Amino acid sequence: MNITIAENLKRPEPKALASTLEQLAARFGNRLVTSLAVREQHGHTTTWLQNQPPDAVVMAQETADIQDVVRICAKNGVPVIAFGTGTSLEGQVNAPAGGVCIDLRDMNKVLAVHAEDLDCVIEPGVTRKALNEYLRDQGLFFPIDPGADASLGGMASTRASGTNAVRYGTMRDNVLALKVVRGDGEIITTGTRAKKSSAGYDLTHLFIGAEGTLGIISEITLKLRGIPETIAAAACSFETVRGACQAVILAIQTGIPVARIELLNTAQVKCCNAYSKLTLPETPLLLLEFHGTAADVAEQSRNFGEIAIECGGGDFTWTTKPEDRTKLWQARHDAYWSVKALRPGAGVVATDVCVPISRLADCVGETEDDLERLNLMSPIVGHVGDGNFHCSLLCDVNDADEMARGEEFMHRLVERAQAMDGTCTGEHGIGQGKQKYLKAELGAEALDAMRALKRALDPQNIFNPGKIVPAA
């Protein structure tokens, strides 16, 4: 899918760019890379949105590197795009006006763990899996799980969440403080390790979800949790999506502290059966996880089992044995790959919307009807405890008619969610792909406020230009 460069975006003057690259080469030597292959890997690669590579990539190793790239680029008016692991789905790492990408993957040190305070301080390139491996011996974990092994800097910048959010919240709820390199290369500290604070404007949350458009995060202080004593996994098939959603609503309303609650619609279950050689009933499926003491998880599982029967659920299975848990959740773990395998060669676009939980059944049901009407294939997976679900739309990118129907589908999906008082994205962010929906969701005044913030913090518009807020 082509993206037109926003009207107010201009590539830097060739002379300014050349001078920038010269200064960066002098400072970074072979840590400045300009080969096309590497530049393309640092543009958008995860969906069918067009790849727009930067002009160069700098491999940062410490905060001073970020500061120097920003200072050199700012002097020449050249864009700077932060890169975590590049798993974002809405074109966030693209460079529509060229510029310099700062690859933060080598800034991957855990700087401190304060076990007694349940927090840690890390560099932005630490990935969530690496962090959890590091923490495991101390009986601690970081709960946000977006599926991909994303960097914590990228996750903070997209306000990511995932399967655990129903119990542990999103990145918004789990970051205590940030250090951010601003446009003149100086560092902003947004908070401390205190669990709460009323000290001034909430800068931490301004940068969470800013997608690198306001500055580059160079250090993150995160909240941690104790690894639960017992984890139970559970699965239950339902006759209808409505029945499954009703069970989710009742579980949330009655205060069962589910740690994960995922919906797979019939199309997704069929996909998983075919890919993972499973024999699940080909109807909507709920997968759950409960965390706590052995007694807690037994009670939670029992209570949910009763709700499931009330809502037309079939056999309710639950287990605490690690190997059986993995088997029960196999379908969810393989969901993405099973969709990819369904139609080799087709492009996949993973899109997300989020609605108030009471509207979830309507939104999923109408979305399934729309797919049938448009003759499109898109299994649905949802973090349904939050009213958030993903469509993995499969389209042949060389088939103009199918692509047009795909675009119509995605547009109608967003309009449907917004009409239900929901949002065009629960967790993937705005990037380039969802800019056109912000005004309808928040209004012109909110966009003006965002533009004013952007101008105040990045007057030269060098930080990841062309993302989030569309030109006025």
- Residues lying near ligand FAD in the complex (CB under 6 A) are found at 46, 81-89, 92-93, 104, 124, 146-148, 150-151, 153-155, 157-158, 160-162, 211-212, 216-217, 336, 427-428, 464
Measured from the CB atom, is 72 or 297 closer to ligand FAD?
Answer: 72
> How would you label 129-145 residue by residue, b for 16+ Cβ within 10 Å and e otherwise?
ebbbebbeeeebbbbbb
d(CA 47, CA 90): 8
State the minimum distance, in angstroms, from the CB of residue 93 to ligand FAD.
5
Residue nearest to ligand FAD (CB): 154
The encoded tokens of residue 290 equal 């409960």
Measured from the CB atom, is 143 or 212 closer to ligand FAD?
Answer: 212
Per the listing, tokens 């997300």 go with 352
**The dihedral of CA 6, 11, 12, 17: what is its sign?**
positive
Distances (CA, A) of 159 to 84, 102, 117, 154, 449: 13, 20, 23, 8, 19
Measured from the CB atom, is 307 or 469 closer to ligand FAD?
Answer: 469
d(CA 220, CA 120): 8
Contact 427, 417 (CB under 8 A): no
d(CA 1, CA 94): 13
Measured from the CB atom, is 283 or 432 closer to ligand FAD?
Answer: 432
The encoded tokens of residue 346 equal 């087709």
State the minimum distance, in angstroms, from the CB of residue 197 to ligand FAD.
21
Measured from the CB atom, is 130 or 309 closer to ligand FAD?
Answer: 130
State the minimum distance, in angstroms, from the CB of residue 316 to ligand FAD.
25
Measured from the CB atom, is 161 or 300 closer to ligand FAD?
Answer: 161
State the minimum distance, in angstroms, from the CB of residue 343 to ligand FAD.
17
Backbone angles phi, psi at 47, to 5 degrees: -140, -165
The encoded tokens of residue 231 equal 């984890």
Tell me the CB-side half-sphere exposure of residue 381, using CA atoms within 13 A: 26
**For residue 401, is it left (φ>0), alpha (ψ between -120 and 50) or beta?**
alpha
Neighbours of 400 (CB within 10 A): 9
State the minimum distance, in angstroms, from the CB of residue 354 to ligand FAD.
11
Measured from the CB atom, is 83 or 409 closer to ligand FAD?
Answer: 83
d(CA 60, CA 51): 22
Measured from the CB atom, is 87 or 268 closer to ligand FAD?
Answer: 87
Measured from the CB atom, is 155 or 342 closer to ligand FAD?
Answer: 155
State the minimum distance, in angstroms, from the CB of residue 412 to ligand FAD.
22
d(CA 337, CA 339): 5
d(CA 311, CA 236): 11
State the minimum distance, in angstroms, from the CB of residue 6 to ligand FAD.
15
Measured from the CB atom, is 86 or 313 closer to ligand FAD?
Answer: 86
In three-state secondary structure terms, 443 is: coil
368's CB contacts (< 8 A; 6+ apart) are 241, 265, 267, 380
Contact 267, 283 (CB under 8 A): no
State the minimum distance, in angstroms, from the CB of residue 386 to ligand FAD.
11
Measured from the CB atom, is 205 or 242 closer to ligand FAD?
Answer: 205
Dump strand ranges (E) for 76-174.
80-83, 100-103, 110-114, 119-122, 140-141
